[in-house]
Structure 1
Amino acid sequence: MTQPTALSGLKAIVTGGASGIGLATAELLAARGADVAVLDLEPGAAPSPLRQYRADVGDDPSVRRAVDAAAADLGGIDILVNNAGVGAIGTIEDNDDAQWRRVFDVNVMGIVRTSRAALPHLRRSRSAAVVNTCSIAATAGLPQRALYSASKGAVLSLTLAMAADHIREGIRVNCVNPGTVDTPWVGRLLDAAQDPAAERAALEARQPSGRLVTAHEVAEAIAYLAGPAAGSVTGSALAVDGGMAGLRLRPAAH
């Protein structure tokens, strides 16, 4: 997958592709030879050669218009990266019903809407792959993340169900489970903390690797799952979390 032509000739859509993990993924897919369309609320931030389409994954007509336009311009769809999402902080007491509906509408139904619109195009591909951006929050109990974790748990289950439904159509479906990634969204959370430096140190210490995950590292995992090298990989969740999911280290010696 280090070859610049590994994805040559493939057509890809990345939702939430104008910043953070989505932008890193879109740029990497393009660097590997794919023709890439970015769907985003503000797609203008995506640089050339990425194609730009405005879409709100919370609105079905918006999604269908953007997916169909991208498919027409690309000449089909081989790869769909469902990356668009929103975050939430708090216990079950801290988020009202409207917030719960909003986060699930974007994080879960957003995947449903985009995948549903893309399926007719993916079925015509010989290299069809869907990659969903999930989270360590789907498999580990994190404090102050009840709503977000619940939505990502749904993404993990949805990924498995989609993989089972579409494997005999030649469509692979997988997800990535990043740990805490150094993205603009995390940056905004840190800025809002009472002590941003202490909060960053705590997030870094939570990861066995001792540092935040980079967006490029997550993009590399997505590119692998999306490409022909992962032709026998489906229904899998690839952790990119600095060991957070599986390692239980002793406290560091001082």
Structure 2
Amino acid sequence: MTSPVVQFSLPQTVVVTGASSGLGHELCRLLLQNGVATVGVDVAGAQENLSSHAAYTHIAGDVGAQATWDKVVDHLRTENASSLGLVTSAAILDVCDVTEVTADILARAMHVNITGTVLAMKSLVPLMVEKKNGAIVAVASVNATLAEQQLAIYNATKAAVRQLARTVAVDHARDGVRTNVLSPGPMLAGLFKRHLESATDSKQFLATRSARQPEGRILEAAEVAQSAMFLLSSGATALRGAEIVADGGLTTSFDYRTGAEGASV
């Protein structure tokens, strides 16, 4: 017996930043599986499982450079899709205390995490307004609200992304553009793996972080990508400036008791 299925429509074309790794890559893969023409933007080249797909276009470039977005806009105007989506998942993370921050670390984080997101919206919102049909998913983080040690600059940039998206949501609410925020927790993907690799004992770090999760595991990037798919879809038309926290329940409680601490569970 088959299970009941609910179906929502997706934009005809979706642009995804950070398409060559982690959340961005998994989202591109899901979009293509569902028949969406997908434009990946990343400073790195396309992964083979994306580039081999006829509906995938890769634009290699710096998300923080206007020239990259000019190429994206030129492609979208040629394609002339009836509806557009944008997911800004490109981000970088440096693990350090604020006293260790260099000008280069600060400039790089601002350039990719904030400037890259601003330029993406600046470039694509006008196209969405023309079509009166656009959906934007700004990828922030649970770190936009809850501080995590040694990630001061990353946390600050993600807080900025969230407020940027919420403002764009109200600025263009009557233009047919839906803007919402996706805030993931740790994922078994690029940024968390980088933090994991920086630990003195990576195995212990992973075990400790997994134990904090109500399910006892770190989410896969593909699971979080499904939340992005929902925000892009017609199922999310009631949402404007909303935030979906896709963290497996990590931030639902101030502390998750496993029983190991001797507490009654």
1:237: how far off?
A: 0.8
- How far does the alpha carbon of each residue in 1:223-248 deviate from its partner, in whole angstroms, 9 at most, with x for none? 10011111111101100111122213
Question: Which of structure 1's runs of 4+ aligned residues deviate more than 6 A?
Answer: none
Moved more, 221-230 or 196-205: 196-205
RMSD over equivalenced CA pairs, Å: 2.1
Q: In structure 1, how many angstroms separate the alpha carbons of the residues matched to 2:80 and 2:175?
A: 21
- How far does the alpha carbon of each residue in 1:177-215 deviate from its partner, in whole angstroms, 9 at most, with x for none? 100010134334323432110111122123333211211
Q: In structure 2, how many angstroms separate the alpha carbons of the residues matched to 1:61 and 1:76?
A: 24
- How far does the alpha carbon of each residue in 1:64-100 deviate from its partner, in whole angstroms, 9 at most, with x for none? 2233224423646510111111112122112112311
Moved more, 47-56 or 16-25: 47-56
| Cα distance change of structure 1 residues 6 and 30 upon mapping to structure 2, 3 Å threshold | farther
| Cα distance change of structure 1 residues 64 and 106 upon mapping to structure 2, 3 Å threshold | same
Aligned-partner residue type, residue 212 of structure 1: I
Q: Show the 5 A alignment for 1:198-213.
A: 198-213=204-219
Aligned-partner residue type, residue 216 of structure 2: G
Secondary structure in 2 matching 1:181: coil
Picking from 225, 230, 233, the partner of 1:224 is: 230
Moved more, 206-215 or 163-172: 206-215
Q: In structure 2, how many angstroms separate the alpha carbons of the residues matched to 1:5 and 1:134?
A: 24
Aligned-partner residue type, residue 11 of structure 1: T
Q: 2:85, 2:134 within 8 Å by CA — same for their partners in 1?
A: yes
- How far does the alpha carbon of each residue in 1:33-56 deviate from its partner, in whole angstroms, 9 at most, with x for none? 211111111232133142111121
Q: 1:134, 1:175 within 8 Å by CA — same for their partners in 2?
A: yes
1:25: how far off?
A: 0.8
Secondary structure in 1 matching 2:46: helix
Picking from 35, 38, 41, the partner of 2:37 is: 35
Q: 1:4, 1:31 within 8 Å by CA — same for their partners in 2?
A: no
1:169: how far off?
A: 0.7
Aligned-partner residue type, residue 101 of structure 2: N
Q: 2:59, 2:71 within 8 Å by CA — same for their partners in 1?
A: no
Partner of 1:240: 246
Partner of 1:64: 70
Q: Show the 5 A alignment for 1:125-204.
A: 125-204=131-210
| Cα distance change of structure 1 residues 13 and 3 upon mapping to structure 2, 3 Å threshold | farther
Secondary structure in 2 matching 1:123: helix
Question: Which protein is bigger by CA-based radius of gyration?
Answer: 2
Q: In structure 2, how many angstroms separate the alpha carbons of the residues matched to 1:101 and 1:41?
A: 17
Moved more, 118-127 or 142-151: 118-127
Unaligned runs of 5+ in 1: none
Q: In structure 2, how many angstroms separate the alpha carbons of the residues matched to 1:198 and 1:71?
A: 50
Q: In structure 1, how many angstroms separate the alpha carbons of the residues matched to 2:187 and 2:216?
A: 12
Secondary structure in 2 matching 1:245: coil
Partner of 1:6: 9
Q: 1:12, 1:35 within 8 Å by CA — same for their partners in 2?
A: yes
| Cα distance change of structure 1 residues 249 and 188 upon mapping to structure 2, 3 Å threshold | closer
Aligned-partner residue type, residue 211 of structure 1: R
Q: In structure 1, how many angstroms separate the alpha carbons of the residues matched to 2:197 and 2:256?
A: 30
Q: 2:8, 2:234 within 8 Å by CA — same for their partners in 1?
A: no
1:126: how far off?
A: 4.2
1:11: how far off?
A: 1.1
Aligned-partner residue type, residue 201 of structure 2: D
Q: In structure 1, how many angstroms separate the alpha carbons of the residues matched to 2:193 and 2:256?
A: 28
Unaligned runs of 5+ in 2: 261-265
Q: In structure 2, how many angstroms separate the alpha carbons of the residues matched to 1:25 and 1:145?
A: 25
Q: 1:53, 1:70 within 8 Å by CA — same for their partners in 2?
A: no
